[in-house]
Structure 1
Amino acid sequence: MHTTEVHSFHIPVLGLGYSIDTPVKVARFGIASVISIVEDQLIEKMREYYCSQEGLTYQPITEADPDFRAARITHYLNLVNGIVQKQLNQLRSLPFEPGNDLVKYFELLPDNSQLKQQYLQMTLLPLGAEKQELQQQLRKAIVAGAIDVNIMAKVDKLNTDADGHPLPSEYSDALAALRGFANSNLQSSVIISAGYNPRLYNYIDQFSDFLPDANGQLKKKLILKVSDYRSALVQGKILAKRGLWVSEFRIESGLNCGGHAFATEGILLGPILEEFKEKKEVLATELFTLCCAAQAAKAQTVFTTRPPLKITVQGGIGTANENEFLLEHYAVNSTGWGSPFLLVPEATNVDENTLQQLATAQPDDYYMSDASPLGIPFNNFRKSSGEAQRLKRIEKGRPGSPCIKKYLVSDTEFTDSPICTASRQYQYLKIKQLQEKKLSPEEYNSALDEITVKDCLCEGLGTSALLKDNITLSRPGAAVTICPGPNLAYFSGVFTLSEMVGHIYGRLHLLNTLYRPNIFINELHLYITYWKKQIEKATGLSPKQVKYFQTFKTNLVEGIDYYKNIISLFKKESNQYIATMKKELDDAMLLITSQHIDVAVSDSSR
């Protein structure tokens, strides 16, 4: 399906199930979104559901079928693509009448878009041939939003056959997911997140859709989610040396985001974006040179002209002014709005109970946790049924989850085969080991909390989609885990798609009455809190750790200086807003410079 950008924002991947069918909901309006293709069992359930909704015959793909994981993903993506194409054809055939999807398509567009201007011009024309001609031109200009997919590079378990024999590496979770996308009929992008996976990167060029065709075009594109410029350069070069072009670097705030948080060493979002802005041309030139050389060496089709390289940003954006500043000052191609769309039932899958909890949540309900079995900080929500279930299991003396799906198994401390640190099996064995250590009550409880804080994400992040669509759960009593970013604290209520898009473009104001600092200040505060907690947790530091904390401090200070230098560029903000921002930067600088790392460490280690 042909797509091009008519909106200046996109909806990033949301958990495993929250955006699993978002393209079916919003792609016909030209809005790009991202499906997680990690959880093939959930994907298969959604395929069955949509076959039923569309009156199509559903042929189950079971675990007995060859290459079932990739096949499930391919068939689901093809189904979603077909549904969106059908929706688009239906939309184009509608009359221009208030309230229908055709009119909604154009009303959602940003006011400064040429297509929106043509639409408004058409509405002013009297009935007649000229109006009809313009209406036909508008119908032809309609395009779908991209149906992109996400693979977490770290979720890449090796698998076995029915008899327990190891399967070849191409049947690992991440490689099978990539194959599922590669074999689909989508013409879109795969976003690879959560770091570098050599096995996955070495597999991509097996599929011709990721390589230029005879006309130098790419049917399928690569997007890397990165947290800083160095990561983009290193990973981009690795892929370029295999003849693979990275079409987009998707920058995400290290802490001011939903889901897993990949903190930088204190390098803040503004300076990161500035570096990309300054070095984008150098980056593109270097990657293009490497890419073409690799293609020539492999006797592949070589790009005749350099493909576009996009830079996009997401994480913690909350106002139209911030959105516009990112687009204009840093010249990014698109902004990502994720967590706020959890409050938009027209766009995402959030069950009614969780939706109401989010809609009425307080700032303290959003927090950074150690819940992820991956060992990566994880943005969490206190009021979720998953968190309630975790605490109830601890209270009953049966902590941990029944590990059914096993996507995050990694620990072999007690077993030959990897098990998950959130599983009941692991936590039972780890607690038993802990009990033998004869610790003080304080030490024991602290260590116990570190064990039992781990929660099942494989199931929890997909349950909400099943509940919303009345699909049979994987098992009775499955609870919901949800991972919004802290920025959602500033949105209260349930919104329509038109309202949220209107907020992004400045036509409406949906923020609640809480005081909300600028996006850059919010992230700065999160980094200071993170840095101070890391220092407090330290019980005696090696020279390497001391250097890490000092580097972190230096980066924070440099970030504050950078923001002080650009604060005058926030032209659309009030004098009071600018004055408050200056004071917040001064206060943050004082907080950072008064933190003596060596003293704090020695105190905490006594």
Structure 2
Amino acid sequence: MKNSLHTFSIPVMGTGHSIDSPIRVAPYGINSVISIVDDLLVERIRKYYSNLFEFPYKNISRKAVDGRAKRITAYLNMVQDIVQQKFEELKSQSFFEQNEKTKYFEMLPDSSELKKLYQRMIKISGKEEQQILAAVLTARMKPGSIDVNIMAKVDGFSYTNNGQPMTSEFSDGSAALRGYANSKLSSSLILSAGFNPRLYNYLSEFEDFYRDVKGEIKKKIILKVSDFRSALIQGKYLAKKGLEVFEYRIESGLNCGGHAFASDGYLLPSLLKEFKEKREMLSSAIQPLIEGFYEENREGGFKSKWILNEPRLTVQGGIGTSGEARRLLEDFEMDATGWGSPFLMVPEATTVDEATMKLLQDAKEEDLYLSGVSPLGVPFNNVRNTGSEKWHKERIEKGKPGSPCPKGFLESNTEFTESPICTASSQYQLLKISQINESELPDEKKEEQRGKVLEKACLCDHLGNGALISLGILKEHRAPQAICPGPNIAWFDRQYSLREMIDHIYGRSEALVPADRPHMFAKELVMYVDYFKELINQCEDPESEFKKLTRFKNNLEDGMNYCLEIAEKTAYPNENLNSIKEAVELQKTRLATFFEDLEHKLMVVG
């Protein structure tokens, strides 16, 4: 797993759109990530694929003891079986034919030693040597990793049938972790959306996250992080328990799909620069803790023949051209990149229903926006006019706002109830709107607050519906679809084959996006200035927020200055560096104007 065949992977996309991506792409050696938040969706997909591949299937009911963990384990084991079956079929095919095996090798990056050996084999005229190389190549083939994602902060407590809270090991996060840990997968667990000590502690109860007698780790840990300090703190925390971080996955705070965890004004280039400069610390500060744990807690301690590898560094969020990917891999020395949203347009890789696919194909930059639809209260990248949005509007018009909350994974609000409920639920929204209506707030403020309440959407259910429709499990009229692309999707306007997209990533074909598409760094800084404007608009106490907003502004300015340094470098093919300079000049002016508005607010209050 350290030596991935490709220099990119397909990250998690919602609960449903990458739910079966490993089945689709792992046989070709491509790593991808499944969300295991929604175990009820997982069960429906397991039933579908069990029937398709004629595997035995027995339903694990919603009321089954430890059902959440069991459903996840059963699904992941099935995915492993399907991937292995498809991979062995592919592996058994002959060379020198236009088949899936040829596709496997031709899609590899040109820098790959395996690709070079393949190209050498097809040029050799000697039959005997050719057969020897063919056997070597076949033996060195391997499938992509079947990785899983858990949002660490989505960790609500479960309740018994009589309404009593269950113990912590049955929390949503812990049960999902147990489901993965009990599976037969040898892959990686990606922990995202923040630091959850209880969940991190629970990792230590499963031997698959530790080294075996050979020094191998069956299940590796990947942390999705937003800055170096957080990475180091979390890495040390886990290391004290003997748990090693295999990879730190750095993501743009805003220029991404799904939930957007904005940094304190730190732009991605500045973050990557710090990771590059301090990379060695992620090993030197960790190694003594790991070795100390094994000395104290494992017979024989940390064996001298074991290698403590430097953790991989990867990056994702808004990458759209081969030139941008090369900038990240070569200048910032990242080990790999993550390409999410573009793969929503690749049916060979993801499950997107026809109506939503058409919506994405037609989406312009103005249709993609940072929304408040998530019940988590975190900004959420969204596209206008989804089936989910239309469904919610119809319910509002009928006087029945919100969702019946069929799954309850995002229940966290106790403002009106003793047990947590979801802010996208009908129960919460009716109670909250009644409270707003009875308040003494000005009518304009009431309308604003009602809008924020009604904006919340049923992501638990709706993010998985596209997959169910795409696979023919549900009809479109019965399944409102939500999707969470990053703004990068605006530049991809049709369906693509898997090979087309991979050739685009590696710069082996004409770019799939126009040359004037703004650089990912330019797009991100525009989004951060927009976000800064919104922070000021929402600021009700300028005096208490002034220091924080000033720090945000200063960090942004430092990041823009560094972006200008990058803009002066030689562009890689398919890299629009000119757009960075143009964006910095315009956004510095906007930033200064917005900060003046903040200072004016402060003077008025004073």
| Shared fold, TM over 0.5 | yes
Indicate yes or no: 2:497 matched with 1:493.
no
C-alpha distance after superposition, 1:421-468 (max 9, x if no partner): 000010000111111114433222111101101000000110011101
Which residue of structure 1 aligns with residue 560 of structure 2?
560
* Mapping 1:199-238, distance limit 5 Å: 199-238=198-237
Indicate yes or no: 2:438 matched with 1:436.
yes
Q: Relative to 1, partners in 2 of residues 1:123 and 1:605: Cα closer, same or farther, differing over 3 Å?
A: farther
CA contact (8 A) 1:3 1:146 kept: no
SS at match of 1:117: helix
Q: Relative to 1, partners in 2 of residues 1:603 and 1:97: Cα closer, same or farther, differing over 3 Å?
A: farther
CA contact (8 A) 2:323 2:571 kept: no
C-alpha distance after superposition, 1:177-221 (max 9, x if no partner): 111111111111100000011110110000001111112221111
Which residue of structure 1 aligns with residue 91 of structure 2?
92
Q: Which moved more, 1:31-40 or 1:292-301?
A: 292-301
Q: Distance in 2 between matches of 1:309 and 1:303?
A: 19
SS at match of 1:418: coil
Q: Which moved more, 1:106-115 or 1:288-297?
A: 288-297
TM-score normalised to structure 1 length: 0.96
Shift of 1:508: 2.4
CA contact (8 A) 2:251 2:316 kept: yes
SS at match of 1:73: helix
Shift of 1:496: 0.5
Indicate yes or no: 2:429 matched with 1:427.
yes
AA matched with 2:375: P
Q: Which moved more, 1:128-137 or 1:86-95?
A: 128-137
CA contact (8 A) 1:212 1:302 kept: no
Q: Distance in 2 between matches of 1:331 and 1:202?
A: 31
Q: Distance in 2 between matches of 1:275 and 1:90?
A: 45
AA matched with 2:312: K
Q: Relative to 1, partners in 2 of residues 1:3 and 1:268: Cα closer, same or farther, differing over 3 Å?
A: closer
AA matched with 1:506: G
Shift of 1:407: 0.3
Q: Relative to 1, partners in 2 of residues 1:602 and 1:311: Cα closer, same or farther, differing over 3 Å?
A: same
CA contact (8 A) 1:317 1:323 kept: yes
Shift of 1:602: 4.1
Shift of 1:515: 3.4
* Mapping 1:145-184, distance limit 5 Å: 145-184=144-183
Q: Which moved more, 1:411-420 or 1:563-572?
A: 563-572
Q: Relative to 1, partners in 2 of residues 1:383 and 1:570: Cα closer, same or farther, differing over 3 Å?
A: farther
CA contact (8 A) 2:519 2:579 kept: no
Shift of 1:172: 0.6
Q: Which moved more, 1:282-291 or 1:446-455?
A: 282-291
Shift of 1:26: 0.2
Q: Relative to 1, partners in 2 of residues 1:597 and 1:281: Cα closer, same or farther, differing over 3 Å?
A: farther
Which residue of structure 2 aligns with residue 196 of structure 1?
195
Shift of 1:605: 7.1
Q: Distance in 2 between matches of 1:363 and 1:578?
A: 20
Which residue of structure 2 aligns with residue 358 of structure 1?
360
Aligned with residue 455 of structure 1, among 434, 454, 457: 457
Q: Which moved more, 1:12-21 or 1:297-306?
A: 297-306
Q: Which moved more, 1:581-590 or 1:88-97?
A: 581-590
AA matched with 2:505: I
Q: Distance in 2 between matches of 1:357 and 1:191?
A: 29
Which residue of structure 2 aligns with residue 547 of structure 1?
547
Q: Where in structure 1 are there 5+ consecutive unaligned residues?
A: none
Indicate yes or no: 2:288 matched with 1:289.
yes
SS at match of 1:569: coil
Indicate yes or no: 2:51 matched with 1:48.
no
* Mapping 1:94-493, distance limit 5 Å: 94-126=93-125, 128-299=127-298, 301-302=301-302, 304=304, 305-472=307-474, 477-493=478-494
Q: Distance in 2 between matches of 1:600 and 1:44?
A: 56
SS at match of 1:462: helix
SS at match of 2:166: coil
CA contact (8 A) 1:490 1:514 kept: no
Q: Relative to 1, partners in 2 of residues 1:86 and 1:573: Cα closer, same or farther, differing over 3 Å?
A: closer
C-alpha distance after superposition, 1:108-159 (max 9, x if no partner): 1112222112212222233722222222211111111111000001111111
Q: Distance in 1 between matches of 2:211 and 2:491?
A: 44
Q: Which moved more, 1:413-422 or 1:558-567?
A: 558-567
Shift of 1:97: 4.3
C-alpha distance after superposition, 1:504-535 (max 9, x if no partner): 00122444448321111111111011011111
CA contact (8 A) 2:368 2:490 kept: yes
Q: Distance in 2 between matches of 1:487 and 1:419?
A: 34
CA contact (8 A) 2:522 2:579 kept: no
C-alpha distance after superposition, 1:303-335 (max 9, x if no partner): 643133100000000100110110011111110
Q: Where in structure 2 are there 5+ consecutive unaligned residues?
A: none
Q: Relative to 1, partners in 2 of residues 1:3 and 1:186: Cα closer, same or farther, differing over 3 Å?
A: farther
Q: Distance in 1 between matches of 2:463 and 2:455?
A: 16
Q: Relative to 1, partners in 2 of residues 1:149 and 1:577: Cα closer, same or farther, differing over 3 Å?
A: closer
Which residue of structure 2 aligns with residue 536 of structure 1?
537
Shift of 1:50: 0.9
CA contact (8 A) 2:567 2:578 kept: no
Q: Distance in 1 between matches of 2:39 and 2:444?
A: 42
AA matched with 2:48: Y
Q: Distance in 2 between matches of 1:405 and 1:159?
A: 12
Q: Distance in 1 between matches of 2:271 and 2:144?
A: 27
Shift of 1:597: 5.4
Which residue of structure 1 aligns with residue 27 of structure 2?
28
RMSD of aligned C-alpha atoms? 2.0
CA contact (8 A) 1:316 1:486 kept: yes
Q: Distance in 1 between matches of 2:228 and 2:456?
A: 31
Shift of 1:600: 4.5
Q: Distance in 1 between matches of 2:468 and 2:590?
A: 46
Q: Distance in 2 between matches of 1:513 and 1:335?
A: 21
Q: Relative to 1, partners in 2 of residues 1:397 and 1:319: Cα closer, same or farther, differing over 3 Å?
A: same
Q: Distance in 1 between matches of 2:275 and 2:227?
A: 8
Q: Distance in 2 between matches of 1:57 and 1:341?
A: 31
SS at match of 1:202: helix
Identity %: 46
Q: Relative to 1, partners in 2 of residues 1:605 and 1:145: Cα closer, same or farther, differing over 3 Å?
A: farther
Shift of 1:60: 1.0
C-alpha distance after superposition, 1:347-394 (max 9, x if no partner): 000011111111121111111001000000000111210011112222
AA matched with 1:551: R
SS at match of 1:250: strand
C-alpha distance after superposition, 1:263-289 (max 9, x if no partner): 000101011011111111122110121
Shift of 1:61: 1.0
Shift of 1:562: 1.3
Q: Relative to 1, partners in 2 of residues 1:546 and 1:415: Cα closer, same or farther, differing over 3 Å?
A: same
Q: Distance in 2 between matches of 1:171 and 1:467?
A: 30
Which residue of structure 2 aligns with residue 590 of structure 1?
589
CA contact (8 A) 2:517 2:576 kept: no
Q: Relative to 1, partners in 2 of residues 1:295 and 1:541: Cα closer, same or farther, differing over 3 Å?
A: farther
Q: Distance in 2 between matches of 1:506 and 1:220?
A: 33
Shift of 1:298: 2.7
AA matched with 2:421: I
CA contact (8 A) 1:11 1:34 kept: yes
SS at match of 1:63: coil
> How many positions carry a matched residue from both structures?
602
CA contact (8 A) 1:212 1:303 kept: no
C-alpha distance after superposition, 1:474-520 (max 9, x if no partner): x9722001000011111111111011111100122444448321111
SS at match of 1:302: coil
Q: Distance in 2 between matches of 1:108 and 1:491?
A: 20
